[in-house]
Amino acid sequence: MPGREHLQAAIGCDDAPVTVPWWKSGVIYQIYPRSLQDTDGDGVGDLKGISRRLDYLTGLGVDAIWISPIYPSPMADFGYDVSDYCDIDPRFGTLADFDDLLSQAHARGLKVLLDFVPNHSSDQHPWFVESRASRANPKRDWYLWRDPAPGGGPPNNWISDFGGPAWQWDEASGQYYYHAFLKEQPDLNWRNPAVRAAMHDVLRFWLDRGVDGFRVDVLWHLVKSADFQDNPPNPAYRPELGEMHRVLQLHSTDQPEVHDVAADMRAIADGYAAAGRGARVLVGEIYLPVEQLMAYYGGERAGVHLPFNFQLIEAPWQARPLAVLIASYEAALPQGGWPSWVLGNHDRPRVATRRGQAQARIAAMLLLTLRGTPTLYYGDELGLSDVPIPPGQVQDPRELRQPSKGLGRDPMRTPMPWDASEHAGFSTAPPWLPLNADWPERNVARLAAEPGSLLALYRRLLALRRAHPALAIGDFALLDAEEDVLAYERRYGEERLVVALNLGATPQRFEVPTWARDGRPLLSTLADAAPVRDGVLRLRPNEGVILTLAG
């Protein structure tokens, strides 16, 4: 497998050498730390477990890991309720374990991103404990406190993303506080300069330690309208969507001032690169329509480097709508804005569940051949599917608060199956969530030994991205979206590649453009692709092929 140096050299061999930061040419792998690898026998993954699996990750061929929160936390929302931003939760290890993980990752050329949770802290965070102590406390204004509405009750109609009112009454101080998520996750007041300064110090704490960037949790939530107007009702509301969708989050999210907040964070991250301390990246979690999403790249001042693009998670799996989605996204990108693609994460159903095993292979090829930075969710490279969780074993607060609506997130957070030994090599104890029932067959050891496995395909695709600048950083052009075929070109310098994906379960013919008729298959998602004959590439059911025109 060619190393990173190979790609750098290839990138530099064009007329004008191009310097591409690692976060553009690289691939990010998301780790849900409770579920990757346990080493202390409590059934919950930990930092030493991640260190133990670094060779697996470099062997897979990813460039960076993003680790969901590992800070001290009461775990009301499994770490997204932080009670100390500058330490490690003992369940995951210690700061020394983290430093060790970081240096081991860096020694392998792997970057490490942390999850920065700036919108809310835990209600156990000392800042909130002080804030709630009295109305006169200097930290009172660090959170969002309001008097009851004139007629009594919550100050406005805002609804928590986990259901129920987003306001919690505090008897002792006689006011409500706002929480976009659980009442154990009070929202910080980002209009307060002291909060900004404290959070900037958090960023510097980790950047100084050497982390390569952050995924920024619910970035579009950070600033709320100054006058806390009611949100308008959502005309498309249906109960099965979950209660938060009763209203449109017009005033509680995506306020213009959030872009200044993002720009300040960006300035901090870029300051490290400017000082010669290496490129650091900010990836923003933002669930918004494309037009609003684009604003997070920034305007006069740069915003985050990579606003996550989650569209593939919910897109209809058909050639034309996908082609429209991709083309519109590409067209909407601002000058210099680098694309992002995601197939799944710890909040959404897994791709193998949504698309099935056969199309999971096509999804892999799509994710890793589109233009932009892909983020892979742990276990998706095995075709891991969602695990039904018996009611008595539910852990996710969202499911516990709004049961049986399909909103639960435990099913996609189950332990990584490493081998066929007891507890799948994940732990010596029963894991915190059940393993997928298929773990005796679907595990890393087994799939690594099968040349035709999805894992082997992921490895090949990742190796190809490394070897071919056309895939990693090349231009993109749509070629075709007829029936079940989605085809596009990737091009860099002299190299032209054609990707043709059969999104269905029947054979398809793809009329190769004239310039590509001499193309030969570089990779198929199935074994050996048929060559192009008479200008036609014959795709088998559920087959994707990459053709190369080089030399």
Of 143 and 510, the one with the shorter C-beta distance to ligand GLC is 143
Cβ of 201: how many Cβ atoms within 10 Å?
12
Residue numbers 280-299 binding ligand GLC by CB under 6 A: 285
Query: In angstroms, rounded to a whole number, what is the distance separating the alpha carbons of residues 472 and 467?
Result: 9
| Binding string, residues 346-385; x marks residues near ligand GLC by CB under 6 A | xx--------------------------------------
Among 409, 76, 75, 403, which Cα is nearest to 243's?
403
Taking the complex as a whole, the smallest distance from the CB of residue 110 to ligand GLC amounts, in Å, to 22
* Contact call for residues 203 and 214 (beta carbons, < 8 A): yes
Among 510, 506, 548, 503, which Cα is nearest to 525's?
503
Give the ranges where 397-511 is alpha helix by DSSP (H). Answer: 397-401, 444-448, 454-467, 469-472
* Contact call for residues 293 and 286 (beta carbons, < 8 A): yes
Taking the complex as a whole, the smallest distance from the CB of residue 347 to ligand GLC amounts, in Å, to 5
| Binding string, residues 392-431; x marks residues near ligand GLC by CB under 6 A | ----------------------------------------
Query: In angstroms, rounded to a whole number, what is the distance separating the alpha carbons of residues 72 and 74?
Result: 7
* Contact call for residues 152 and 174 (beta carbons, < 8 A): no
Interface with ligand GLC (CB under 6 A), residue from 181, 310, 426, 432 = 181
Query: In angstroms, rounded to a whole number, what is the distance separating the alpha carbons of residues 444 and 378?
Result: 12
Helix H or strand E encompassing 5: helix 4-12
> SS3 for 402?
coil
Taking the complex as a whole, the smallest distance from the CB of residue 362 to ligand GLC amounts, in Å, to 26
Q: Name the E strands within 277-418.
A: 281-284, 306-307, 340-342, 373-377
Among 3, 24, 64, which Cα is nearest to 492's?
24
Taking the complex as a whole, the smallest distance from the CB of residue 283 to ligand GLC amounts, in Å, to 12
Of 77 and 489, the one with the shorter C-beta distance to ligand GLC is 77
Residue numbers 110-139 binding ligand GLC by CB under 6 A: 117
DSSP 8-class letter at 345: -
Q: Which residue has the tokens 């930092």?
A: 47
Enumerate residues 6+ apart whose C-beta is below 8 A from 107: none
Residue 285 annotated as catalytic: yes
Q: 3-state SS string over 53-100?
A: CHHHHHHHCCCEEEECCCCCCCCCCCCCCCCCCCCCCCCCCCHHHHHH
Structure tokens given for 377: 């969710």
Taking the complex as a whole, the smallest distance from the CB of residue 314 to ligand GLC amounts, in Å, to 15
Residue of this chain nearest to ligand GLC (CB atom) = 80
| Binding string, residues 78-97; x marks residues near ligand GLC by CB under 6 A | --x-----------------
Taking the complex as a whole, the smallest distance from the CB of residue 290 to ligand GLC amounts, in Å, to 19
Interface with ligand GLC (CB under 6 A), residue from 217, 410, 489, 543 = 217
Taking the complex as a whole, the smallest distance from the CB of residue 161 to ligand GLC amounts, in Å, to 7
Is 218 near ligand GLC (CB under 6 A)?
A: yes
Of 254 and 484, the one with the shorter C-beta distance to ligand GLC is 254
Rg (CA), the chain: 24
* Contact call for residues 40 and 50 (beta carbons, < 8 A): no
Q: How far is CA 453 from CA 229, 316, 458, 494, 544, in A?
A: 53, 25, 9, 32, 15
Total of residues contacting ligand GLC (CB under 6 A): 9
Of 77 and 381, the one with the shorter C-beta distance to ligand GLC is 77
The one catalytic residue in 38, 81, 217, 386 is: 217
**The residue type at 412:** M
* Contact call for residues 13 and 49 (beta carbons, < 8 A): no
Of 77 and 495, the one with the shorter C-beta distance to ligand GLC is 77
The one catalytic residue in 89, 97, 285, 489 is: 285
Among 75, 174, 157, 412, which Cα is nearest to 166's?
157
Residue 543 annotated as catalytic: no
Helix H or strand E encompassing 487: strand 485-492
Of 36 and 455, the one with the shorter C-beta distance to ligand GLC is 36
Strand partners, 508: 539
Taking the complex as a whole, the smallest distance from the CB of residue 50 to ligand GLC amounts, in Å, to 18
Taking the complex as a whole, the smallest distance from the CB of residue 78 to ligand GLC amounts, in Å, to 7
Of 185 and 502, the one with the shorter C-beta distance to ligand GLC is 185
Of 77 and 123, the one with the shorter C-beta distance to ligand GLC is 77
Is 164 near ligand GLC (CB under 6 A)?
A: no
Is 212 near ligand GLC (CB under 6 A)?
A: no
Of 218 and 454, the one with the shorter C-beta distance to ligand GLC is 218
Interface with ligand GLC (CB under 6 A), residue from 77, 381, 399, 410 = 77
Of 76 and 149, the one with the shorter C-beta distance to ligand GLC is 76
Cβ of 256: how many Cβ atoms within 10 Å?
9
Query: Catalytic residue numbers?
Result: 217, 285
Q: Which residues of this chain interact with ligand GLC, rule CB under 6 A?
A: 77, 80, 117, 181, 217-218, 285, 346-347
